[in-house]
A and B are shown apart, each in its own frame.
Chain A
Amino acid sequence: MKLLFNIAWTHVSTRVRQTLVGMAGVSMGVGFTIMMAGLMQGSQIDFLRQLVDTMPHITVEDERRSVPTQPAEQEYAAVQMSDIANVGKRPGIRYSESVMSSLRSWIPGDVAPSAKTTAIVNHGGARIGITLSGIDPRREVQVSKLATQMREGKIDDLSRAPNGIIMGEALAEKLGVKTGNTVLLVGGQGVQLNSTVAGLYRSGLKRVDESQIYSLMGPAQVMMGQSGVINQLRLRLNDPMLAQKVAAQVEAQTGYKSVSWQEANADLLSSFTVRDFIVLTVMGAMLLTSSFATYNIISTITHEKRQDIAIMKSLGMREYAVRRIFIIEAAIIGVVGILFGWILGYLLCYGWSKITIFNPLTGATVPLQIYYSLAHYVIVGGISLVCCAGAAYFPARKATCVHPVEIIRGAS
């Protein structure tokens, strides 16, 4: 092995310029790929973090996944029914307190109740449809970031003002209201309620900020026309990534539809998957392309060294040992190239992180989010090394399988 390394080193060190070009190729491929990985994952993680922070990780609603079948349908296969309304059922999650305490006993996180309904908010001439969620301020802090998203007022102010509500800054702007103003809420059943704006929040998600209003349980239940109803449980998990698994378990236990944040945002996440796929393909192609210089060098060296290959084989060195010399050469180029590529990648990431952009979600100018991960360096380096070895393998195999007699006859 030492001998092979020696020969390999002699070959690359006597071709300084070619070797440097090969190393530069690998370095650039690795550097740019690491930069891309950091940028892409950084922006994605940043976005997901905002999304996950703003939303409950799991929402349990008082619905079933499918409409219950009618007894006649269960009995006779030929029966078909349509236009049947399920009447007479009181909405809401039954025994919600005991459901919550049983959930609390095993979920890795916390749960809070809410009473959710739709309403129209009237102010001046504006009428805007909104979602009204009645919450329990004490428990709300366990499951949402609402407390930290408050721009004006506090969650506790809900109980200080008469029929207090908290709305998004964006909605307040649209309606032209300020903290302390009164707006009229009109519910589905025709119930009207004069509410005082007790505070403003900003979640960063436009569709939430423009349509979500919070109040205490009481006013929301009044709007619904159902006193005492809890029709939604919201869960927050210590690890948001567990949401899908936990949601399935919750649904199995309670029988109520439990939606994880991933399910609620499936369209968004699937667009991420497509994006990931494209990015990975591009990065793979970059690494492959960057190893072409290596391919070129090894091809040249094996071609120039045909005679040496024949000598070594005729002296009794095994074919695979001779082939390994060229793989080692590629590995030398690859390893040095990767080391410099790592440095280049780090510097590029660092450079990008100094660039600030305007973020429409938060309305602030923030630096580009770069995700630094050792895994990027290891994976990109590993793939690049494999590409280099592969780039060397084919010309090396071609050159070393030649029978030495052919070359010895040709040379003498």
Chain B
Amino acid sequence: MAGLEFVGVRKTYPNGVQAIHGIDMAVADGEFVVIVGPSGCGKSTLLRMVAGLETVTEGEIRIGDNRVNELEPADRNIAMVFQNYALYPHMSVFDNMAYGLRNRRTPRDEIARRVAEAAGTLQLEGLLDRRPGQLSGGQRQRVAMGRAIVREPEAFLFDEPLSNLDAKLRVQMRLEIKRLQRALGTTSLYVTHDQVEAMTLADRLIVMNAGVAEQIGTPLEIYDAPATLFVAGFIGSPAMNFLPGTVAEDGSGANLDGSERTLPVAPPASAGRGRITVGIRPEHLEPVSREEAVLEVVVELVEALGADSLVHGQLADGGEGMAVTVRVDGARQVAAGEVLSLAVAPNHVHFFDPDSGNRLA
């Protein structure tokens, strides 16, 4: 097994589309790294460059200590799980898993042993003679996993492997992938647009936006201190509330646009005296009595999820478009039209420069 490294990697497609604008990062041996970002941001492109399915326009990709830019996919000793599984439809499950080993001239009994072992791990024992067309979505997903693990590669690459499954199966397979990766200790690069999947699976996350890695860090680092407005809005569900405002005259708080009240949390000195964007996650706003409140929200709509409810509303004395979402305990009765008094812990208030989008610290 081996680590993985990107050094100034860029990709421009022949049609001129610049998909990757320079990525630098090292993935440690055995680490599970998730690349997350909206559709079209270049996640697949990055993964396919590691696999050798796309050329690297500039920079270097290393697996272990070797530069692999010029190597054929076959020579990189990686395995990939595709979104549509890419199982060979004319081969049995056994042959699907054995194909890569046969191509590498693995002895027969060794192939049989490894496939049986993988089939055991993935509960595919009874299905080895079937064709992919005779399997359910979840079973196909397992076969695709099996095909990857029998190879015992240096690294696993996953390109949205769960997005064709229904919600329940997705959660189940997510756990299974995590468990399997832990057990095998194989370096993994996992692409998804689903931030919940990203948060739960990753040792470390790369949040991508338009071909740029906006932030690299552990899920909690990114959740607690998002580096940009984009990351702040993308990671966390429901998304963080963004409230535009200015730094108060004495620097001790933030004046939200259209609001009389000053949010009594001091922005960092780097904010100067200009405009700022205040970010507060829905789960960090807490209903309190009027006297303790720092914000007031007029409730417009309540989504009851059971364990908790999502309250959507407008800042009570705010200007146009000061929408706020609050996550409250499911037992709490909230009705539309009600005014909710809210408090927030100072360490859960984020400040961003509205022009550059960068976090102010």
Q: Do A and B bind each other?
A: no
